[in-house]
Amino acid sequence: MKSPPEKIVVATANRHKAAELAAMLALPGLEFVPLSDFPAAGPVEEDGLTLEENALKKARSAAAATGLRALADDTGLEVEALGGAPGVYSARYAGEGSSYADNNAKLLRALEGVPFEARKAAFRCVIALCSPDGASVTAEGRVAGRILEAPRGADGFGYDPLFLPDGGRASFAELSAEEKNSISHRRAAVRNILPALEKIADEQV
């Protein structure tokens, strides 16, 4: 007799991230559910010094609160000319509670006068999958590009309007969701954690 799908919590309060992950994680035998389905699971302070630390902290907290396996990611934009900043502080680069527009504006100010050729950057994503018993696995994805001198495009989120992937002519915010998801750092991280998820799915068959 076929087992019901195993529920895995997607541990993010960011609806944009949740939508991207849901579009990438369609696997038979698994049902991905949002953290918002579990009101008792409170917010997690992302105070880690690395993307890995934050992803693991969020996934472990969600797994402990729900009793289910949990998947979480942390993503950072690393700009070479800024020594890797904003990095782990990407979401709050312009301060706690800052908007996407605030962060983009600060980044442009920081790169003022830097020529396009020297605006090398990379989006990096780390995904953590944790069980209630504490077992965990992580995977990473990365996409290289450059920071534009002005925002382009109305789609996407975060730094997407400023990020031009290597070899591309459109910013992440000028791409459709499907186009972005096919080449993004999050897609690469999902691809690398897929073997761990497929193993869980196979156990449900």
Exactly one of 74, 102, 155, 202 is catalytic; name it.
74
160 is catalytic: no
Query: What are the chain's domains?
Result: 6-204 (3.90.950.10)
Going through 50-187 in order, the beta strands assigned E by DSSP cover: 69-79, 86-87, 120-130, 136-147, 163-165
Contact 183, 24 (CB under 8 A): no
pLDDT in tens, 175-194: 998 899 899 999 999 999 99
pTM of the model: 0.89
Q: CA nearest 48: which of 130, 163, 162, 128?
A: 128
The dihedral sign for the CA sequence 193, 196, 198, 204: negative
Q: How far apart are CA 82 and CA 69, in angstroms?
A: 37
pLDDT in tens, 57-112: 999 999 999 999 999 999 999 999 999 999 999 999 999 889 999 999 999 999 99
